[in-house]
Amino acid sequence: DTEVTQTPKHLVMGMTNKKSLKCEQHMGHRAMYWYKQKAKKPPELMFVYSYEKLSINESVPSRFSPECPNSSLLNLHLHALQPEDSALYLCASSQALLAAPETQYFGPGTRLLVL
């Protein structure tokens, strides 16, 4: 299996809702990433987990809460979002070998609309 999968593909939520995005990979990768991508813009890094521990938090608001239950799964819990949080949320993974630069593989994304 050489793919990163994400569910759901689309999500519409109100500002008072709680929802979760899910990402899964079975490539044995030990680093997993959440990116946010607005229309016509590049992906922006939000969080990185390495060996199931939070390694990087790019000063993301607390209404976004990441979770890495095991080495194959990555969740993003959403609560009290704002309309400006509407975007494509991309998950990515990489091997996390020591020191060497490596390829990040992206999932198809979840397109989120906050009303």
Partner 1 sequence: GENVEQHPSTLSVQEGDSAVIKCTYSDSASNYFPWYKQELGKRPQLIIDIRSNVGEKKDQRIAVTLNKTAKHFSLHITETQPEDSAVYFCAASKGIIQGAQKLVFGQGTRLTINP
> Binding residues for partner 1, per CB under 8 A?
30-31, 33, 40-45, 48-51, 53, 55-56, 90, 94, 96-109
Residue nearer to partner 1 on the CB measure, 12 or 15: 12
The smaller minimum CB distance to partner 1, of residues 4 and 81, is found at: 4
Output 85 or 110, the one with its CB closest to partner 1: 110
The torsion angle over the Cα atoms of residues 15, 64, 2 and 97, rounded to 10 degrees, is: 170
Distance CA 62, CA 66 (A): 10
Rounded to a whole number of angstroms, the minimum distance from the CB of residue 109 to partner 1 is 6
Nearer to partner 1, 78 or 107 (CB): 107
Evaluate the CA torsion angle 68, 74, 77, 81 in order and state its sign: positive
CB 105 within 8 A of CB 4: yes
DSSP character at residue 76? E
Number of Cβ within a 10 Å radius of residue 76: 23
H or E segment and range at residue 83? none
Report, in Å, the least distance between residue 37 CB and partner 1.
8
Nearest distance from C-beta of residue 15 to partner 1, angstroms: 26
We find the least distance from the C-beta atom of residue 50 to partner 1, in angstroms, to be: 3
